[in-house]
Structure 1
Amino acid sequence: MSAGSEPPVGTFLDRFVLPADPAAPGQARRRLAADLAGRGVPAEVTETVLLLASELVTNAVLHGHGEPVLEIRTTESTVWVGVRDPDHHPPQARPTDADSLGGRGLHLVDALAEDWGAVPVAGDGKTVWFLLRR
């Protein structure tokens, strides 16, 4: 995990506000899939983006105390996704075991992303982000 990172300089694809309810991860997946479809992003990368974004949006809904804002940027070689929420506390991966029903989201992000991190947003919480190679 990186302490912080600016989004890559590249093509800004989309930024959208999601509801602070259980429907948000599904809405995020549909919107991201549509955004990436026209950008030539390989299917396996898109699937990973959808999985990791869903995990971050779920965390934002459960712990962020407000509507998450999702942003996506692409370059020729990367896909960057950030999820902003109003909570100022940095994300923390919970210890899990084989019987745990939840708490694996950040572990998945750590295992599958090229890089990830969280940055404070002045007066507006934090952005948790990940970067994938295309």
Structure 2
Amino acid sequence: MAFARNIGSGNGNVDPLDRLWPRRIRSVIRHALSRWEPAEFIDAAELLASELVTNALQHGRGDVRVLLTFADGCMRLEVRDDSPESPVLRDASDTNETGRGLAIVRAEAHDWGISDNGRTTWCSLVLPSLSPTP
């Protein structure tokens, strides 16, 4: 899935219309994973998607692309934008209102990383079972 950001997103800001994208992506993730259990797995996947998409909108450039793949017992989520600047994992203090996105990804994901060119941030979750529930 790909979408174009509004002109007001980037440089630390998210345009009000772009604030709808994390919710839309969560809905796509929930639908894609709706046959898997437990529900906590789906909740974690939605949280990771929200954080990565919001980060791309807030700090990236150009269109945002989201890719969800399944292989080797893992779900992999990739979020790409056109910014060559790598996302930065920060230590947000208790008084900071932002800066926790990648820390949340690091805490919730089985694994995560950033592509060498800085344009793709990815994370993975181990699937709870290899067979979808009926």
Contact persistence 1:18–1:28 (CA under 8 A): no
The one of 4, 23, 31 aligned to 1:34: 31
Q: What TM-score, normalized by structure 1, do the two folds share?
A: 0.79
Flag structure 1 segments of 5+ consecutive residues without an equivalent. 1-15
Let me know the Cα RMSD of the aligned residues. 1.6
SS of the aligned residue for 2:89 comes to coil
CA distance in 2 between counterparts of 1:55 and 1:103 reads: 10
1:18-97 residue pairs with structure 2 within 5 A?
18-20=3-5, 21-38=18-35, 40-75=36-71, 77-97=73-93
- Cα offset for 1:42? 2.7
CA distance in 1 between counterparts of 2:111 and 2:75 reads: 11
Give the residue type in structure 1 aligned to 2:114: A
> Greater strand percent: which structure?
1
Contact persistence 1:109–1:130 (CA under 8 A): yes
Between the two structures, name the one with larger relative contact order (CA 8 Å, sep ≥ 6): 1
Name 1:131's counterpart in structure 2: 124
112 and 65 in structure 1: CA distance in 2 versus 1, 3 angstrom threshold? same
Give the residue type in structure 2 aligned to 1:75: A
Q: What TM-score, normalized by structure 2, do the two folds share?
A: 0.79
Give the residue type in structure 1 aligned to 2:26: R
Flag structure 2 segments of 5+ consecutive residues without an equivalent. 6-17, 128-134
The one of 104, 112, 116 aligned to 1:116: 112
- Cα offset for 1:41? 4.4
